[in-house]
Structure 1
Amino acid sequence: MEQKIYIDSLSKNLNIINSTYLKKLYDILENHKIVFPKYLNDEILTKTTGIYPIPKSKYIDEYLFNKTKSKSVIYTYIFKINNINCSFKYYFKQKQSALLDKYIMVISYILSLFSVKNVINIHLIELEDKKFFNNKYTALHVNSGFTLYYNSKIDIFVYRKEESVKVLIHELLHSIHLSGTYKNNKKLVNYYNNLYNVNIKTINIDEIYIELWARLLNCFICSKYSENHNYNTFNKYVSIEKKISEIQSYKICNYINNNKNIDINKYTHIVEYYLAVNQLLYNINEFLKYRFSKKKIFYLKDIQSFINFIISHPDYKLHKIRKNSIFNNTFRMSVIEFNLPRR
């Protein structure tokens, strides 16, 4: 219900993106043939009990960490997509087949886009705690998942119900190293500090690139399984995400104006997830044009070209909201959610 209220509000006076490259992206994603899972156990779904194995991390607040530690029923799929061996563990009190199908469908689509060799373990629990905005820029108000890398495997943890599909896509893109392992860049730190009048010490380039693609891919998947499956729906969804991004960035910039030269990134990636992605959405046609000029659209192989693109496109838009706006209290990054697939 809340999501529908958000979307209905954002759809009013919505500026639809005019982009030939967005249509080109849609055509590529639409023509992609999904590789469905090859299950590796005789029993496709196994059921056990246990505790959500998420480790302590700066990307999960202590309060949410403790909430994950109650005993759960664990529903497990073990399967293979292309060269990727995957286990998907869903921690819940009772089986919900439609939800399990939804997540498997998302995993199948994303992983079948890429040809990599990996072992990925996905752990998903749906905490009801939402991301509230109260000018506190911490993991409790921002983060919903993270990915851990080991020598021979990768563990993905998604722990909030809100935005769970988009977050799952985001972490899957990390797991296949969509943007390599690029982290800090002093030139980009100085750029954002000057642009937004902040005093951040680091910038994680991976998070900017991957979060943008996660939102675009989430919009496509949501449009693909909507009642109106066509380019216009996809374009509308991306346009809605652009608008909510402008709203959230307005709230952050309003805070920065009253607290100049703060390290807004002290606890988590505020500039990356909100401000930088908002800039890229404002320049989405040029960003996609830049990506289509590369041999591989999705994989970021030339980090310097991406840095140059960001610096050469400093324009962005903020969407001011009223004090009684329904968006005042939410800090979610996206509003488009995957509804259960049609039967």
Structure 2
Amino acid sequence: MNYDSGYKNAIETILGFMHSEKHTHYSVENVSILEPLYLSIVEGISFSKRQFETDRVKMIINKGRRIRLPSKSRYMCNNIYDHIIKHVKYQVEYKTTIGSRNLIVRFSLFDNKLELSELEYYFQMILSWIYTISHYSESSCGKTQIIDLYFTDFKKVFPKSSVNILGHSNCNSGYSSVCAETNEIVIYRTEEWFKVLIHETFHSFGLEPNYNCERQLTKYIGTLLPIQPSVRVNEAYVETWARIINVIYSAVINSDSKHEFYNILRFSLQLEVLFSIYQAVKVLDFMNLDYESVIDKTSVQARIMYKENTHVFAYYILTASIMNNIFGFIRWCTKHNTKWLQFYKSNRTCKSFERLIKDSLYSIEMKNACKKFKNQDWQNEGLRFSIVDSVN
């Protein structure tokens, strides 16, 4: 498994926490609930290899005016946009079909030289995931799926001063259309790009709560929290699944048997859950807040001091609380979603998810874990969402 060397302190702290306490709920029995996804991903990887073996993938290299450049978006900060426009060297484009769905993936490269064999491997992994997620999505979403990856070296980092508010330049890595006939995804950082891809495909293929449910969930969580910004609960739903699936990919890629897969998965899930909590505490510490104050409806301090210019609470705090309740979340999806990954669009399901949110946010285990990660040395550590790099 691969980890970002810039997070050495985080990894050492988390490993120390893992070794000092027994976490019995990461048993083979519990993680085996993810076996259907394991089998789907293995099938997807086999499918992607067959597409190459049977010459069903077309590859071209675009240069100059043939390079597809991104449109301006509020989810991409100006300095990254300007860097892409000025410095992109060439673009490697792959095309294939998955049943009746067309897939176009373009890798835009800069001074970071990547071999065509590496890009082919990346495309195989992307293709395997699009094949997998297609089984859980509506057929009307993404009849043509376009994915643009701009492999820049910009990383998600904190502002130099806590006076600055966390926003898109600090936290976002991509954006997408939602369940359109022609779906487009743009990813503009190399950092944790495959996990970001999984996140954006959940939006693109319509697996998140629908508009009415999202409004209901946002209103509900607003009754629990003291903070002013509206919390986009669908971002937490999507991000939780993205982190879980990213870890499954890592375990599949690094194992030679199902037994080895489960051993890696058990370790990696625990690491990812604790890293989620670690990052949540770090984000709140940047704002001079702690977890208990930000979930206390009566906290005047949190009401005044908590600020965000993107979906920070959903990405870091709410997702961490759901990750901490990871098997409760997976069992909830198994019980309530007919397509498992796709949020079932009914009022009853929405109300039930409200209970899961409340249970996750206010769990004693979550509060205690946050206390253990207080007063860490955050210096030089950034704002990654996940610690496991599955595809690189």
Does the alignment pair 1:270 with 2:312? yes
Distance 1:179 1:17 in 2: 30
Distance 1:100 1:280 in 2: 34
Q: Which residue of 2 aligns with 1:216?
A: 244
In the alignment, residue 282 of structure 2 is paired with which amino acid?
K
Distance 2:209 2:102 in 1: 20
Judging changes above 3 Å, is the alpha-carbon distance between structure 1 residues 323 and 46 closer, same or farther for their aligned structure 2 residues?
A: same
Distance 2:318 2:250 in 1: 23
Q: Which residue of 2 aligns with 1:48?
A: 62
Distance 1:263 1:179 in 2: 30
Do 1:256 and 1:262's aligned partners in 2 also have CA atoms closer than 8 Å? no
**3-state SS of paired residue (1:46):** strand
Q: When the two structures are superposed, what TM-score results if normalisation uses the length of structure 1?
A: 0.86
**3-state SS of paired residue (2:385):** coil
> 1:251-298, CA deviations, whole angstroms, 9 ceiling, x for partnerless residues?
233326385314856421111111111111111121111112133211
**3-state SS of paired residue (1:131):** coil
Please, which moves more after superposition, 36-45 or 225-234? 36-45
Distance 1:110 1:262 in 2: 42
Q: Which residue of 2 aligns with 1:18?
A: 25
Does the alignment pair 1:206 with 2:234? yes
Do 1:147 and 1:154's aligned partners in 2 also have CA atoms closer than 8 Å? yes
Q: Alpha-carbon deviation of 1:102?
A: 3.5
Q: How many residues align?
A: 337
Q: Which residue of 2 aligns with 1:61?
A: 77
Do 2:103 and 2:145's aligned partners in 1 also have CA atoms closer than 8 Å? yes
| Cα RMSD, aligned residues only | 2.9
Do 1:3 and 1:336's aligned partners in 2 also have CA atoms closer than 8 Å? no
Do 1:144 and 1:167's aligned partners in 2 also have CA atoms closer than 8 Å? yes
Judging changes above 3 Å, is the alpha-carbon distance between structure 1 residues 178 and 42 closer, same or farther for their aligned structure 2 residues?
A: closer
Do 1:245 and 1:334's aligned partners in 2 also have CA atoms closer than 8 Å? yes
Judging changes above 3 Å, is the alpha-carbon distance between structure 1 residues 109 and 8 closer, same or farther for their aligned structure 2 residues?
A: farther
Q: Alpha-carbon deviation of 1:300?
A: 0.4
> 1:164-197, CA deviations, whole angstroms, 9 ceiling, x for partnerless residues?
11001111221111125337435644535644x3
Does the alignment pair 1:161 with 2:169? no
Judging changes above 3 Å, is the alpha-carbon distance between structure 1 residues 97 and 83 closer, same or farther for their aligned structure 2 residues?
A: same
Distance 1:43 1:300 in 2: 32
Please, which moves more after superposition, 74-83 or 155-164? 74-83
Q: When the two structures are superposed, what TM-score results if normalisation uses the length of structure 2?
A: 0.76
Q: Which residue of 2 aligns with 1:75?
A: 92
Does the alignment pair 1:103 with 2:103? no
Distance 1:178 1:131 in 2: 26
Judging changes above 3 Å, is the alpha-carbon distance between structure 1 residues 60 and 262 closer, same or farther for their aligned structure 2 residues?
A: farther
Judging changes above 3 Å, is the alpha-carbon distance between structure 1 residues 42 and 120 closer, same or farther for their aligned structure 2 residues?
A: closer
Do 1:144 and 1:159's aligned partners in 2 also have CA atoms closer than 8 Å? yes
Q: Which residue of 1 aligns with 2:276?
A: 245
Do 1:75 and 1:95's aligned partners in 2 also have CA atoms closer than 8 Å? no
Judging changes above 3 Å, is the alpha-carbon distance between structure 1 residues 151 and 329 closer, same or farther for their aligned structure 2 residues?
A: closer
**3-state SS of paired residue (1:331):** coil
Which structure is higher in helix share?
2
Please, which moves more after superposition, 58-67 or 132-141? 132-141
Q: Alpha-carbon deviation of 1:205?
A: 2.7
Q: Alpha-carbon deviation of 1:78?
A: 0.4
Q: Which residue of 2 aligns with 1:139?
A: 168
Do 1:146 and 1:158's aligned partners in 2 also have CA atoms closer than 8 Å? yes
Which segments of 5 or more consecutive residues in structure 1 lack a partner in the other structure? none
Does the alignment pair 1:112 with 2:131? yes
Judging changes above 3 Å, is the alpha-carbon distance between structure 1 residues 106 and 42 closer, same or farther for their aligned structure 2 residues?
A: closer
Q: Which residue of 2 aligns with 1:324?
A: 377
